[in-house]
Structure 1
């Protein structure tokens, strides 16, 4: 069972969201028996997996179309082979969602977690399915392995999803009906939820799912009831259980007074050393102030997240510059704030994107900036748990 609530829920598309039984009618309409739909889809997955294992990749539509020509070759069709292939492949975007999907998606949206899809098919098919059900707006991104360069269940596909969402793999929860997808995601470090609508038995040779539900809406209830972890600074792997909390190489930040008097501080982050101070006349201005460091963290995270997204999209982003300023304003002067009395912290962030980008690309990059993990942390409820250690005994 995961020890943290996921930040992002990742949905498989084919069969998890879409009901592939509708493809059987497409086979019948071209003069082929309905049962061929199941065998053909299994063959598409087989060849996609084989390519991935060998280090290659091809779009779902390419593999599907070529296999269809073979499957239909000796069948007396009611139209040409080319027309039959086009008719069947076009059916993917016209499939219905499983009846439990709309309610489940809305329930999971209500948990506050981000929703994305990750399909071995095209993102456009996912968009058509969700748009027809008026659910597309519930999803932050519609991801395809075509941009990852490897099909699921290869690790690269899940790593791509984590990078696209700006989180660690451990912060993702994959929802799928396919045990092979659950196994691949678990091996890549994701939490997993098996959607078992048919009462099937989960194969013992695959890594077991963290959650098993029979309807999608059940997952929202299960996640709401799951206890959060009691707070280690990093929960990416179980290795932290064996490491000492005094080891800065594990991401621990240690701040100590510099010993020179005043407010100067020495900051240790793994192998890195920084200095913090207050500006004159309060301090001696030997380093950035604590709020400067907060802004620096937000700015660095913003720039990294935008860069990562642009590289995945292969957009011509040449340089990112993030300018930030912190000040306090009266709540009554903030039209977008829930607080109505007193003062609130206000951060101004200005983004500058250099490169041959169109307006839609610039708009999308500005949206992605808000997906930066530090940005989300600053906008979420934060709990700081403080303990006091006994002072080390003085040396004789």
Structure 2
């Protein structure tokens, strides 16, 4: 199906935050010199446990906000590597509030805004975390609304999360193109009813999950042409 047909009637672009707009590994990157050769391993483990904890807490029905989950995941990663450094831990958590956005993000958001699309974020992050990340990247002028899972108290890919954007923007799911670099999130959003573009930044293999992203792109620079 041509992109022009699949994306006909799109009014809004809704973005996942972490890994899609913001580089989750930039927090460790800011303090890489303090971690030496273990920095990449710690960053990957931190991210892996962070996501695992969101899924497990959702299944258990024992929600904690993303700030708490991020702290717990970092503690696990540091403990796994035998690091007990409260000052470093505090600095890494502070760095998570100031993640770098990917280089193309401001340009693409500006193009989409000029093209008449409404832009929003739908994220596991808390409102305070999202506000800090958006402000740090100087993209607040493009984003109409930061939607947080804290409105429903459960993490993605629960359908109640995706409904937040529908209700908040006042448009139908099929009028929203949802973008995520997390394949599981892209599948969840597609199963919910969004038009979905998977931003496969790292050349990951396709998941075997319900729902199927309508398009796959390598980075957000491909999005304006996709939307026509």
TM-score higher than 0.5 here?
Answer: yes
Q: Hey, what does 1:245 align to over in structure 2? A: none
Change in Cα spacing, 1:73 to 1:134, as seen in structure 2 (3 Å) is closer
1:198 and 2:227 correspond: no
Change in Cα spacing, 1:26 to 1:76, as seen in structure 2 (3 Å) is farther
Q: Give 1:27 shift.
A: 5.8
Q: Hey, what does 1:69 align to over in structure 2? A: 75
Q: Give 1:176 shift.
A: 0.6
Picking from 39, 51, 61, the partner of 1:55 is 61
Picking from 120, 132, 137, the partner of 1:116 is 120
Query: What is the CA–CA distance in structure 2 between the aligned matches of 1:117 and 1:187, rounded to whole Å?
Result: 19
List aligned pairs for 1:159-174, cutoff 5 A. 159-174=163-178
Contact 1:194 1:209 in 2 (8 A): yes
1:125 and 2:129 correspond: yes
Q: Structure 1: which 4+ aligned runs deviate by more than 6 Å? A: none
Question: Mind listing any 5+ residue stretches in structure 1 that lack a counterpart?
Answer: 225-396
Q: Give 1:39 shift.
A: 1.0
Change in Cα spacing, 1:77 to 1:215, as seen in structure 2 (3 Å) is closer
TM-score normalised by length of structure 2: 0.87
Q: Hey, what does 2:97 align to over in structure 1? A: 93
Contact 2:7 2:195 in 1 (8 A): no
Query: What is the CA–CA distance in structure 1 between the aligned matches of 2:55 and 2:82, rounded to whole Å?
Result: 30
Contact 2:120 2:144 in 1 (8 A): yes
Q: Hey, what does 2:146 align to over in structure 1? A: 142
Q: Hey, what does 2:51 align to over in structure 1? A: 45
Q: Give 1:190 shift.
A: 0.9
Corresponding residue SS for 2:79:
coil
Alignment: residue pair count: 222
Change in Cα spacing, 1:69 to 1:117, as seen in structure 2 (3 Å) is same
Max radius of gyration: which structure? Answer: 1
Q: Give 1:76 shift.
A: 5.2
Q: Give 1:74 shift.
A: 6.1
Query: What is the CA–CA distance in structure 2 between the aligned matches of 1:89 and 1:180, rounded to whole Å?
Result: 25
> Higher strand proportion, which one?
1
Question: Mind listing any 5+ residue stretches in structure 2 that lack a counterpart?
Answer: none
Change in Cα spacing, 1:141 to 1:72, as seen in structure 2 (3 Å) is same
1:106 and 2:110 correspond: yes
> Higher helix proportion, which one?
2
Q: Hey, what does 1:12 align to over in structure 2? A: 16
Relative contact order higher in (CA < 8 Å, ≥ 6 apart): 2
Q: Give 1:9 shift.
A: 1.0
Query: What is the CA–CA distance in structure 1 between the aligned matches of 2:62 and 2:195, rounded to whole Å?
Result: 26
Contact 2:187 2:209 in 1 (8 A): no
Query: What is the CA–CA distance in structure 2 between the aligned matches of 1:26 and 1:68, rounded to whole Å?
Result: 15
Q: Give 1:77 shift.
A: 4.0
TM-score normalised by length of structure 1: 0.52
Query: What is the CA–CA distance in structure 2 between the aligned matches of 1:26 and 1:138, rounded to whole Å?
Result: 26
Contact 2:175 2:194 in 1 (8 A): yes
Query: What is the CA–CA distance in structure 1 between the aligned matches of 2:190 and 2:30, rounded to whole Å?
Result: 35
